[in-house]
Amino acid sequence: MINVFGCSVGEEELEEIKKCLDAQWLGIGKKVELLETLLAALVGNPDFVLVNSGSNALQVAIEALELPGDTEVIVPAITWVSCATAVELAGLVPVFADVDYDTLNVDQNCLHDCLSNKTSAIMLVHYSGMPCIIPEFHLPVISDCAHAIATLYDGEHIGNRYDISVFSFDAVKNLAIGEMGGVSSPDKKLTENVRNLRYCGIRKSGYEASTEKNKWWEYELKKPFPKMLPNDIGAAIGLAQLKKLWKLQERRKQIWDIYQNQLKDVSWLVVPPEIPDNIQHSYFTYFVKVNKNRDGLAKYLLENGIYTTVRYQPLHLINRYRRGKRLPVAERLNDTLLNLPLHPRLTDNELEYIIERVKSFK
């Protein structure tokens, strides 16, 4: 089976993990610190705080903003469910906005339509790695960069454009760790808030505090909060992945470009828009809109050993969030969107086979 998502790991990751085992230390430590430093430099922010998953990074980022209770956060309809549940877990209400048909990023006009006197923040998702650029709304912006570790806009990383940015490093992301996430911000006060929360609401462990006070085993609790600590095993994988990130990005771009060239003239497919010169894309996933029998194509490809998916189901159509609101573009995409395989291990022969199978669908 040709997988729709995947990563590329090998000896480099094993060597970094072995250093952790040789040091007899598996928890949060020097490798986490080093990876945080390198990621802060990559994004261009003064700090980068790792946590144990991208979903938890969303939750702790929202908590770090200290938004008023029972207020609303605008969330794109096309995104992973954690974007909505993180809002709810913070005691807030997600309000779903429609998306742009071409990019699948949030539609700016719909943002305006969703604003109310209860809106306390806006969440953006940079779908597939295409930067979502919006004007100033005089509200905090949560920038979900789960697809956008390599995304630049006008030469600057998208992760330093908005108030607080969230990253995911799960098993299929461009920088694949297995399970880990991160939070970064141009405002160090916000990342300090994240550090104050990620260890059960305790700012520092006893070991960390031992150089600062006599009774270092005593601690203060900022607030009750889940444990979201990363560990050195994951960070070891991340360090190896970071060293080859740009090589892996080159392969992702090659695959994207071949799809664009080979599928652009298929009359019943709509391929992604061309990428402007001022944008460096991350190429996380390749998506098409199928204007004839999308489900039939997905089944046909599956029967031919090619696994595809729809990334993502519109959130306002999930039972928990059904409130009778119509979002026509998201609903149209729900019937036509299909994500084709794109990952660094995809071979040229596999890519040629996928394209042939797509073109042969009747």
Mean pLDDT of 259-267: 97
Location of structure tokens 């003239």: 265
pLDDT of residue 37: 98
What is the CATH number that goes with domain 246-360?
Answer: 3.90.1150.10
- Ranges of CATH 3.40.640.10 domains, the chain: 11-243
What mean pLDDT do residues 37-44 have?
98
All CATH 3.90.1150.10 domain ranges of the chain, comma separated, are 246-360
Closest by CA to 58, choosing from 135, 156, 124, is 124
Please tell me the distance from the alpha carbon of residue 212 to that of residue 265, in angstroms, as a whole number. 65
Strand partners, 157: 152
Cα–Cα distance for residue pair 286/344, rounded to 1 Å: 13
Q: What is the pLDDT of residues 68-88, one digit of tens each?
A: 999 999 999 999 999 999 999
* Averaged pLDDT, 155-179: 97
Q: Cα angle at 322 between 319 and 327, to 5 degrees?
A: 125
Q: Tell me the pLDDT band of 45, cut-offs 50, 70 and 90.
A: very high
Q: Which two tokens stand for residue 288?
A: 């098409």
Contact 185, 45 (CB under 8 A): yes
The CA angle 300-304-305, to the nearest 5 degrees, is 120
Rama region for 154: left / alpha / beta (φ>0; ψ in -120 to 50; rest): left
- In whole angstroms, give the CA distance from residue 5 to residue 144: 19
Q: Is the pLDDT of residue 207 over 70?
A: no
User: Which is more confidently placed, 27 or 218?
Assistant: 27
* C-alpha to C-alpha distances, 311 to 65, 68, 77, nearest whole angstrom: 28, 31, 12
Mean pLDDT, residues 157-182: 97
Mean pLDDT for the stretch of residues 302-331: 96
Domain 11-243 in CATH 3.30.750.24:
no
Rounded Cα distance, 340 and 259, in Å: 9
Centre a 10 Å sphere on the Cβ of residue 136 and count the other Cβ atoms it contains.
6
The pLDDT score that the predictor gives to residue 65 is 98
Q: How confident is the model at residue 331 (pLDDT cuts 50, 70, 90)?
A: very high
Q: Write the pLDDT tens digit of every residue in 93-152.
A: 999 999 999 999 999 999 999 999 999 999 999 999 999 999 999 999 999 999 999 999
Give mean pLDDT, residues 311-329. 95
